[in-house]
Each structure stands twice: as structure tokens, then as C-alpha cells.
């Protein structure tokens, strides 16, 4: 009977320890501190910080764009940085950061600088503008227009029409709107994971820059992309411009 008691105690200790390990891993995964796959296996915290860390200390984006918020946003969308081969996935991560870096002045800005309009399309009745609210660019990909704030808010469960400021005050929401735009509301993901290449993401984000519309902006995006591809140790591929 004593032997059985010892064995039972050992069994209880073993299963109790296993449960604790599983609980700890679950918590770490939830907060983005432990990554076993997904974008976290491509973009480590060190790589992320080397990409966004070049922003000056006086920049609003310094500290706002953080690793945990990026990972949580990435994991919220199936396929982001996980669709193809290792090289394809690395290019997608580099392409996302390159466009975000261009849009935010190297992750310095959270909000559009000196907007000249409220970005309200009154013809869109599905997502009508709220009086007194502006829908100018905010976040990593500078989410703009009432219809994008409304649709993003609906999918991500925040009030984008009545509280668009959340995209500039909540890092998690901010990154989620960017990945949402990339995966759901544009052809960015399709472009970078196909033969359209990085140039296809530029066209998806701002087609007016293409075909000579704004060669300086295109060059800025491409330069960032090539730089981040080098940091991720992947060839940038073809079709870099649009």
C-alpha cells in the first residue's frame, strides 16, 4: 500500500507539473513573449527593434510601435507571413515593414502630418462620417477614410467611426488595422506572395505613385524593402517597382 501511495503521489506531481508548464506556455504565447511559429519565427524581437528602433527619441512612434502588439496583430490573421516558402514569408514581412516605414517616416509618426482634409466620403452610406471626426492617416499603414475606419472597426471590434483616435492611441488596434488592411482590404498579401512582387504592394496601397506618378515615393519604399530584406537574409526578388 505504501508503494502504491508513493507511485500515486509521483503521478499526481507529474501531471500537476505538466499542467503548470502548459499554463505558462499558454500565457507566454498570448502576450507574444514565446513564439513557436508564425511571423514570430521570422521576425524576432531583436530584428523588429532594429527595424523600428531607428526613429528618433522625440518621435511619437518611439515605443508606440512595439513587438508584442505586432505579433498579436500578425497572429490574428491567418496566412500573414506564413503562406509560402521561408523566402516568400520573409519577403512579406519585409514588404509590410517597408511600406509602413515609408508611410510613417521610419516609424516616427503615428498620425498623418498636417492633413489638409477630413477624409470623409459623404457618399458612403454604409459607414457614414461622425460629425466632428477626422479620418486622416493613422497607424503603421496610415489607415484613411471613413469607409476604411468603419470596416476595420467592424472586423476588429472597435468603434472606428466614432473613435478613430484609437488607431493612434492603442498600439494593438493600430497594428491590427495595418495587418487588416494588408490581408483583407487590399491586394498586398496576394501581390507579395505571387509574381507581382513588391511593386504589387505599392500599387495596392497607393496606385497613384505608380507609372511615374511619384517616383520619389516608390524609390523610398523600394529602398526600405531592400534594406529589410537584407536584415532578414532574403533576396528581394523581382518586380520591385510599379
| 144 CB-contact burial (10 Å; exposed 0-12 / middle 13-18 / buried 19+) | buried
Q: What is the largest CA-CA distance in the chain?
A: 86
Q: Would residue 209 show up in a list of annotated catalytic residues for this protein?
A: no
Rounded Cα gap, residues 182 and 77, in angstroms: 10
Rounded Cα gap, residues 214 and 198, in angstroms: 16
Closest among 191, 153, 188, 147 to 173, alpha carbons compared: 153
What secondary structure does DSSP assign to 179-201, as a single string? HHHHHTSSSHHHHHTTTTHHHHH
Rounded Cα gap, residues 153 and 168, in angstroms: 14
| 225 CB-contact burial (10 Å; exposed 0-12 / middle 13-18 / buried 19+) | buried
What secondary structure does DSSP assign to 82-94, as a single string? TSS-HHHHHHHHH
Q: Is 143 helix (H, G, I), strand (E, B) or coil?
A: strand
What would the grid cell of residue 237 be?
526578388
Q: Annotated catalytic residue: which of 7, 54, 92, 103?
A: 103
Rounded Cα gap, residues 104 and 102, in angstroms: 6
Q: Which positions are annotated as active-site residues? A: 103
Amino acid at each position: 500500500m505504501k508503494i502504491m501511495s508513493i507511485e500515486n503521489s509521483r503521478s499526481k506531481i507529474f501531471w500537476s507539473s505538466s499542467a503548470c508548464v502548459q499554463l505558462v506556455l499558454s500565457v507566454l504565447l498570448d502576450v507574444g513573449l514565446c513564439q513557436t511559429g508564425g511571423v514570430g519565427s521570422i521576425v524576432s524581437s531583436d530584428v523588429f527593434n532594429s527595424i523600428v528602433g531607428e526613429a528618433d527619441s522625440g518621435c511619437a512612434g518611439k515605443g508606440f510601435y512595439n513587438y508584442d502588439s505586432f505579433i498579436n496583430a500578425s497572429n490574428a490573421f491567418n496566412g500573414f507571413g506564413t503562406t509560402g516558402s521561408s523566402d516568400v514569408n520573409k519577403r512579406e514581412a519585409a514588404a509590410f515593414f517597408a511600406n509602413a516605414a515609408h508611410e510613417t517616416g521610419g516609424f516616427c509618426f503615428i498620425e498623418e502630418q498636417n492633413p489638409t482634409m477630413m477624409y470623409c466620403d459623404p457618399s458612403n452610406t454604409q459607414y457614414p462620417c461622425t460629425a466632428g471626426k477626422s479620418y486622416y492617416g493613422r497607424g503603421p499603414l496610415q489607415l484613411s477614410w471613413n469607409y476604411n475606419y468603419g470596416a476595420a472597426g467592424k472586423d476588429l471590434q472597435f468603434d472606428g467611426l466614432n473613435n478613430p483616435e484609437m488607431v493612434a492611441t492603442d498600439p494593438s488596434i493600430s497594428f491590427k488595422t495595418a495587418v487588416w488592411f494588408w490581408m483583407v482590404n487590399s491586394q498586398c498579401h496576394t501581390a507579395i506572395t505571387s509574381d507581382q512582387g513588391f511593386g504589387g504592394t505599392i500599387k495596392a496601397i497607393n496606385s497613384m505613385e505608380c507609372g511615374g506618378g511619384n517616383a520619389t515615393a516608390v524609390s523610398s519604399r523600394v529602398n526600405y524593402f531592400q534594406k529589410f530584406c537584407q536584415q532578414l537574409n532574403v533576396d528581394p526578388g523581382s518586380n520591385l517597382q510599379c
